């Protein structure tokens, strides 16, 4: 196979024996971008990424099909999922991926909105750079505008009242979060599950929610409406022997992480058996040890055994004959959840087993699905009532995965309201109110920053415009009407009527967002813009000569 070498970048040298070899000097070739050109190239890359997720914003947003290198297909409109699975080579565009990830980890919802806002801010910054304004002055103006916008959010925020007996307001907010998801046809059902799950594990006095106590599991089959909330734990296992009872009431669980087998020598020595008598002695020894283990379990009063490791047919038969239903190969995270839910202790050695370390549950039963042989173990009425499991059903794996992501967003929204019960109205209403406030502040600003503040206000308008565009409305006309009405009527609840019901008052439609989610979007997007605008020099590997 012939190879072409650019000899202008190559040099012929000789080794000690006089044989020639070629050194191709290509590693040192770098192409540099300086100053404003570098900043504008970053902005272009980030804007391209933001435009990809822009069409997924709102209740009428479109889904994306993501195909992994292995051929796995994901269908989603969740901003964080789309960006995390995209192959992005530009390092500045990767910052948008980190932006959506931080919004997802901190807040859980609003991952698409924060990227759209950041993309709009950078696009406005590019126009200002073309006019000759220094990037640092733009960043300073954005910071001032962000302070004004956050203050406006605090001003227009409403408080919602809820209690374990009155969850209607929380239910409405969870419904808003699920309105743009694939589960929207069953959003009442999922919203109720999200509220019940969060309130089951929430500490309302400390305003804290431990998500570790909420497990979300799924199984293909059934419809989305068959999704259920279990006050306990579901394990994707069944009892180790088909003749064991499929239901145990008033269960006392022995939770073991030790192997259900006779002890083996933990040395490098091996045991040689040379006669039938020796083999029989070994067999009797194993039988005695198995019997001792069973007796230890029975002496504690346990009537269900949960084991992290497997056990052979002999141990399984002994458990069956001694009426001890057992579950084997239960994974580490699941066994910890069982221990938390049942208030049991994980026992690493049979010698440590005692009645005080047993977990308690009202019922342990096997759950079957339709005509399949699949079974799962359900542990209900646990001693610790705060542990819950959401069991998602769906027609295929893609729908179940997307339903899990949707449910995560709804759980996070309800969690945020437990932490801070202040809300603002969605449909772009909060962004338009902040935009008007920033425009007013820009008029009073004396310096160059007023241009950046006006650009910030225009960037805020991009969110309601994207909502209108995705809903099939005329974006500019819709935005102009709502903005003028908000200014005239002093009503910060007016937003884009995405579902085209005839009213722009978001309070009537219960389109609600937690205040901390909106505030975080503004702060994170502004921080990212400052970071990008401050980068003025990037070295990119290329083929041209360096210019120093």
Active site residue ranges? 78, 111-112, 409
For residue 70, the Cα-to-chain-centroid distance in whole angstroms is 22
Residues 423, 515: contact at Cβ < 8 Å? yes
- Cα-Cα-Cα-Cα dihedral sign, residues 341, 346, 350, 353: negative
Q: Do 110 and 524 touch, CB atoms closer than 8 A?
A: no
The β-bridge relationship of strands 422-425 and 158-159 is antiparallel
- Asked if 99 and 531 touch (Cβ cutoff 8 Å), the reply is no
Question: Taking a C-beta distance cutoff of 8 angstroms, is the pair 72, 93 a contact?
Answer: no
Q: Locate 113 and state its tokens.
A: 């909105």
For residue 193 the two structure tokens come to: 């599950």
Block residue for tokens 């914003």: 57
Q: Provide the β-strand partners of residue 539.
A: 32
**Both tokens assigned to 155:** 């001003």
Q: How many helices (H) and strands (E) does the chain have?
A: 16, 21
**Token code pair at residue 480:** 């102009």
The answer to whether the beta carbons of residues 452 and 128 sit under 8 Å apart is yes
- Whole-Å CA distances, 95 to 50, 60, 139, 337, 538: 11, 27, 17, 35, 15
Query: Cα–Cα distance between 297 and 254 in angstroms, integer?
Result: 7
Cα separation, 10 vs 380, in Å, equals 73
| Element housing 438 (H / E) | helix 429-444
Identify whether the C-beta of residue 46 lies closer than 8 Å to the C-beta of residue 118: yes
**β-strand pairing of 247-256 with 214-220:** unpaired
Strands 537-541 and 30-34: what pairing? antiparallel
Residue 277 burial (C-beta neighbours within 10 Å; 0-12, 13-18, 19+): exposed
- Alpha-carbon Rg for the chain, nearest whole angstrom, is 31
Helix (H, G, I), strand (E, B) or coil at 500: coil
CA atoms within 13 A on the CB side of 95: 21
Kind plus residue range of the DSSP H or E element containing 407: helix 397-419
Q: Tell me the residue length of the chain.
A: 548
CB atoms within 10 A of CB 73: 11
63 is written with which tokens?
């889904």
């Amino acid at each position: 196979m012939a190879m072409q070498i650019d000899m202008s970048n190559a040099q012929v040298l000789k080794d000690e024996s006089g044989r020639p070899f070629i050194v191709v000097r290509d590693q040192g070739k770098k192409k540099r971008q300086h100053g404003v050109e570098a900043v504008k190239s970053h902005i272009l890359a980030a804007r391209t990424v933001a435009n990809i997720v822009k069409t997924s914003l709102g209740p009428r947003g479109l889904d994306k099909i993501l195909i992994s290198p292995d051929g796995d297909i994901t269908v989603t409109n969740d901003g964080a999922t789309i960006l995390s699975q995209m192959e992005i080579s530009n390092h500045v565009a990767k910052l948008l991926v980190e932006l959506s990830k931080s919004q997802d980890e901190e807040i859980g919802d609003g991952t698409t909105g924060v990227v759209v806002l950041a993309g709009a801010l950078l696009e406005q910054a590019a126009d200002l750079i073309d006019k000759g304004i220094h990037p640092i002055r733009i960043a300073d103006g954005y910071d001032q505008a962000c302070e004004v916008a956050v203050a406006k959010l605090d001003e227009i925020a409403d408080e919602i009242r809820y209690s374990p007996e009155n969850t209607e307001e929380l239910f409405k907010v969870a419904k808003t979060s699920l309105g743009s998801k694939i589960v929207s046809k069953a959003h009442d059902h999922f919203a109720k599950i999200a509220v019940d799950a969060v309130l089951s594990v929430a500490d309302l006095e400390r305003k804290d929610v431990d998500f570790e106590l909420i497990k979300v599991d799924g199984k293909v089959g059934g419809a989305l409406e068959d999704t259920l909330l279990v006050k306990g734990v579901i394990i994707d296992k069944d009892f180790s022997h088909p003749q064991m009872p499929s239901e145990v009431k008033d269960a006392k669980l022995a939770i073991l992480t030790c192997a259900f087998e006779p002890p083996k020598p933990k040395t490098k020595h091996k045991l040689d058996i040379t006669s039938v008598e020796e083999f029989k002695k070994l067999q009797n020894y194993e039988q005695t040890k198995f019997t001792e283990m069973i007796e230890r379990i029975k002496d504690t009063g346990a009537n269900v055994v949960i084991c992290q490791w497997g056990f052979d047919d002999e141990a399984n038969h002994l458990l069956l004959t001694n009426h001890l239903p057992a579950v084997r190969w239960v994974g580490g995270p699941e066994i910890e959840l069982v221990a938390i839910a049942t208030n049991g202790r994980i026992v690493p050695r049979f010698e440590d087993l005692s009645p005080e370390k047993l977990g308690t549950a009202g019922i342990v039963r096997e759950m079957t699905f339709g005509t399949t042989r699949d079974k799962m173990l359900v542990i209900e009425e646990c001693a610790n009532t705060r542990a819950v499991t959401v069991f998602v059903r769906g027609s295929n794996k893609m729908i179940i995965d997307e339903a899990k992501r949707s449910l995560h967003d709804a759980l996070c929204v309800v969690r945020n309201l437990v932490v801070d019960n202040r809300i603002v109205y969605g449909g772009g209403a909060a962004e338009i109110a902040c935009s008007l406030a920033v425009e007013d502040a820009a008029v009073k600003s004396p310096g160059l920053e007023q241009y950046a503040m006006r650009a910030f206000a225009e960037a805020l308008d991009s969110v309601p415009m994207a909502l209108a565009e995705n809903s099939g409305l005329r974006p500019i006309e819709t935005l102009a009407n709502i903005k003028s009405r908000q200014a005239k009527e002093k009503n910060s609840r007016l937003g884009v009527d995405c579902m085209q019901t005839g009213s722009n008052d978001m309070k009537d439609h219960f389109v609600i967002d937690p205040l901390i989610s909106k505030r975080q979007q503004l702060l994170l997007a502004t921080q990212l813009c400052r970071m990008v605008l401050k980068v003025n020099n990037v070295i990119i590997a290329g083929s041209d000569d360096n210019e120093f």
